[in-house]
Every structure is written in C-alpha cells, then in structure tokens.
Amino acid sequence: MAQCLICRKRAHTGSLVSHAQNHTKRKFKPNLQKVGGILVCTQCLRTLKKYQNLEKVAQTEKSE
C-alpha cells in the first residue's frame, strides 16, 4: 500500500452514505506525489518547500 515516506499517511476506509442512508464501503486516499523518487503527501511537500529541506529528505530516503 502506498504511503507518505515522511508522515506515513496512507489510505483509510469509511462509508459512502447516500441520501437514502445506504452505506457502501469506500477508501479515502491521500494525495501522494512522486518528488525526487520518493512518495510524499502534499501537506508534507508544502512543509518541505517552506523550509527548503526537500533535497535533504530525498537523499536520506534513497540511501536507506
């Protein structure tokens, strides 16, 4: 299962509820982007860009 390499955010399950209160299964997927060869959620991407640490994180994740 795909997940963010920084905050470990991944898909969660829940119910889609219609107006008639019919419940069906669904998944809530995070918005993952591939940046520098790693998967990062958009919230972590914004934080990394703010502090300009994206290059450092990409290098450490590839070396591990």
CA dihedral sign of residues 62, 64, 2, 42: negative
Cβ atoms of 40 and 33 within 8 Å: the answer is yes
The two three-digit tokens of residue 8, written as one number:
């470990």
Average pLDDT over residues 9-30: 96
- pLDDT given at position 36: 83
Average pLDDT over residues 5-28: 96
- Quick: pLDDT tens for 31-64: 999 988 889 999 998 888 888 766 666 666 666 6
Planar angle of CA 7, 4, 13, nearest 5 degrees:
95
Q: At a CB cut-off of 8 Å and minimum separation 6, what does 16 contact? A: 23, 24, 25, 26
Q: 13-17, 19-23, 32-36 — which is least confidently predicted?
A: 32-36
- Determine if the pTM surpasses 0.75: no
